[in-house]
């Protein structure tokens, strides 16, 4: 899942980035309202952490602009303004929650997960196909109930593929979704990542496989679908 952090306090911005990446999100971070609007217009985010007091345009204005361009992104306001009115204005203005500064990362994380859960009513906690399962919160992958050790990005790939199934996971979309925009990514990197996941699933005894759809991307396939053993 990909997050946008909009925070002009550099240390806090960096801290949020580090923490959220460590717990498994792809993160883009900007420090002004205008850059945020640009990122929102171009990108595809599952949620946004938005500071209210930004150097150029106010966080509330960012939210309003989002609504004008029809981009509804689950949003948590980060604010030092603890006046009741600004919190209410924020929530009425399209934010899903707010966190008062200073805050604990654990609190922010809990709020973020709650917002993501609410935003994706259909979003399952446990994704599975065949004997492969993935828990979106704990980031645990299992094959036949036995844990398979996946690196952060491999877990993100598995999550994405399970979510998209039975559709094809488009390669360019993987690039967009698994890597922060500042990272330069080659399609080879995606291919290498897919190979590693494929190998780990196979070694773990998975009954699903990842097929390459030439020129488009990848698709998870159940053994009955391959027809190989028929």
Q: Which long-range contacts (CB under 8 A, 24 or more apart) does 54-58 make?
A: 54/6, 54/8, 55/8, 55/31, 56/32, 57/32, 57/33, 58/33
Whose tokens are 């399962």? That residue is: 133
Q: Which parts of this chain interact with Ca ion (CB under 5 A)?
A: 8, 51, 53
Nearer to Ca ion, 55 or 166 (CB): 55
Nearer to Ca ion, 15 or 23 (CB): 15
Nearer to Ca ion, 35 or 152 (CB): 35
Closest distance to Ca ion from the beta carbon of 1 (Å): 24
In contact, 169 and 161? CB cutoff 8 Å: yes
Q: Tokens representing 199?
A: 């190998």
Residue nearest to Ca ion (CB): 53
Closest distance to Ca ion from the beta carbon of 145 (Å): 46
Closest distance to Ca ion from the beta carbon of 80 (Å): 7
Nearer to Ca ion, 53 or 130 (CB): 53
In contact, 174 and 212? CB cutoff 8 Å: no
Q: Which long-range contacts (CB under 8 A, 24 or more apart) does 137-142 make?
A: 137/113, 139/23, 139/24
Cα 195 versus chain centre, distance: 21
Nearer to Ca ion, 11 or 215 (CB): 11
Closest distance to Ca ion from the beta carbon of 59 (Å): 8
In contact, 171 and 190? CB cutoff 8 Å: yes
Closest distance to Ca ion from the beta carbon of 23 (Å): 23
Nearer to Ca ion, 3 or 194 (CB): 3
In contact, 2 and 43? CB cutoff 8 Å: yes
Closest distance to Ca ion from the beta carbon of 53 (Å): 4
Q: Roughly how many angstroms between the first and final C-alpha of the chain, as a whole number?
A: 37
């Amino acid at each position: 899942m990909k997050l946008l952090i909009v925070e002009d306090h550099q240390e806090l911005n960096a801290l949020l980035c580090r923490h959220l990446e460590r717990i498994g999100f792809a993160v883009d971070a900007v420090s002004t309202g205008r850059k945020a609007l640009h990122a929102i217009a171009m990108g595809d985010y599952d949620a946004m952490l938005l500071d209210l007091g930004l150097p150029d345009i106010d966080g509330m204005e960012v939210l309003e602009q989002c609504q004008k361009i029809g981009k509804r992104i689950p949003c948590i306001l980060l604010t030092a303004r603890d006046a009741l009115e600004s919190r209410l204005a924020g929530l009425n203005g399209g934010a899903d929650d707010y966190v008062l500064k200073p805050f604990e990362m654990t609190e922010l994380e809990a709020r973020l997960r709650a917002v993501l859960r609410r935003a994706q009513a259909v979003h399952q906690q446990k994704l599975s196909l065949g004997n492969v399962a993935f828990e979106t919160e704990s980031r645990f992958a299992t094959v036949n109930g036995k844990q398979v050790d996946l690196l952060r990005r491999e877990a993100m790939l598995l999550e994405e593929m399970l979510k998209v199934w039975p559709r094809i996971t488009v390669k360019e979309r993987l690039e967009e979704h698994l890597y922060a925009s500042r990272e330069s990514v080659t399609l080879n990197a995606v291919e290498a990542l897919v190979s590693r996941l494929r190998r780990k699933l196979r070694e773990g005894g998975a009954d699903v496989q990842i097929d390459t759809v030439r020129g488009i991307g990848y698709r998870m396939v159940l053994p009955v679908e391959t027809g190989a053993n028929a």
